[in-house]
Homo-oligomer: A and B are copies of this chain.
């Protein structure tokens, strides 16, 4: 493998000194980029784009051509594992992902196979290998998965949900059955992330998009416990370098201490928690990633720079900060505003280091 030319992102995750705060953007390869929309159209449907390694590689690299980003993230969908389990993922225009075969009872759950990551999900590992080759050491590549709880919400509800009534109904009425599902998904996620790491992912992030809809006790029991199980099963070193793990629970600001206890290298923080607060609570144990409200990017350059400065100042001097949005970038954002953001982070962060 070629030497890594820019390792700010990995160094920040290990709370090592950097010259500038590194930045990447959740959903940086996505619909706000016209060149992404062109490839998406060429591919026909979204799953074809995910399942064709050359196309997945192409869109993964697109934002790096435009912006001075410090990491690439594998282009894929968070629902590849349930799809490989046979649930029949498809997308309904304007309504998001849907499963043809949701799982809602013990029998369906016990019948779920444990996918083989290298064969059943080989298109993902091929994409990782192609991207690593094409990156040629420019920046590190992030692999990822949804959290077991988050994947299970889609698997039980059959798609997106506002009230999570089916999975929470199961959780309250028959917690043992839900635990069987979560254990099975957690083992598959562990396999999946380890295969990504073996294929070349240099850091991994677990997206717990829906953990924040739980209560403190059910969050620990049904979401965090399974993320911890994954963290404990991951390969944490590759090519002689640590492979850091980032846990991101959207709306998890009340539980940062517990999340840090699960053993990750870093926590993703959304904008509902200030970074000075988060750093005071867990900054001695983990790095922090975040936390600009994606909606700031609708404003003009002056305001974007002011908000970047505010986020940098909130984390303050010293190491362990990876800049990011607090959630994925919106499709309507002007790419020129993203350039303002990325450049502002590098320019304005220098005084906070060294």
CB within 8 Å of B: which residues of A? 163-165, 168-169, 171-173, 212-218, 251, 253-254, 271-274, 277, 293-296, 298-300, 303, 307, 330, 332
Q: Could you tell me if A173 and B216 are in contact, using CB atoms closer than 8 angstroms?
A: no
Give every chain B residue within 8 A of A163 (Cβ-Cβ): 294-295, 330
Give every chain B residue within 8 A of A172 (Cβ-Cβ): 293, 295-296, 298-299, 303, 307
Closest to A298 in B: B169
Q: State how many angstroms separate the Cβ of A328 from the closest Cβ of chain B.
A: 10
Closest to A306 in B: B172
Give every chain B residue within 8 A of A254 (Cβ-Cβ): 253-254, 272-273
Q: State how many angstroms separate the Cβ of A124 from the closest Cβ of chain B.
A: 27
Residue from B165, B171, B173, B214 in contact with A272 in the complex, judged by beta carbons closer than 8 Å: B214
Q: Could you tell me if A173 and B330 are in contact, using CB atoms closer than 8 angstroms?
A: no
Q: Could you tell me if A273 and B169 are in contact, using CB atoms closer than 8 angstroms?
A: no
Residue from B173, B303, B332 in contact with A165 in the complex, judged by beta carbons closer than 8 Å: B332
Give every chain B residue within 8 A of A171 (Cβ-Cβ): 295
List 15 additional contacts besides A165-B298, A172-B299, A216-B273; criterion CB under 8 Å: A163-B330, A164-B295, A168-B295, A169-B299, A172-B293, A172-B303, A172-B307, A173-B298, A173-B303, A212-B251, A213-B272, A215-B272, A215-B274, A218-B293, A251-B251
Give every chain B residue within 8 A of A215 (Cβ-Cβ): 271-272, 274, 293
The 8 closest A-B pairs by CB, nearest first: A169-B298, A168-B295, A172-B299, A173-B299, A215-B271, A172-B296, A216-B274, A253-B254
Whether A272 touches B168, Cβ cut-off 8 Å, given contacts A173-B300, A253-B254, is no
Of the candidates A272, A294, A298, the one having the most CB atoms from chain B within 10 angstroms of its own CB is A272
Alpha-carbon separation in the docked complex, A163 to B326 (Å): 12
Q: State how many angstroms separate the Cβ of A93 from the closest Cβ of chain B.
A: 15
Alpha-carbon separation in the docked complex, A172 to B251 (Å): 21
Of the candidates A172, A296, A330, the one having the most CB atoms from chain B within 10 angstroms of its own CB is A172
Give every chain B residue within 8 A of A212 (Cβ-Cβ): 251, 272
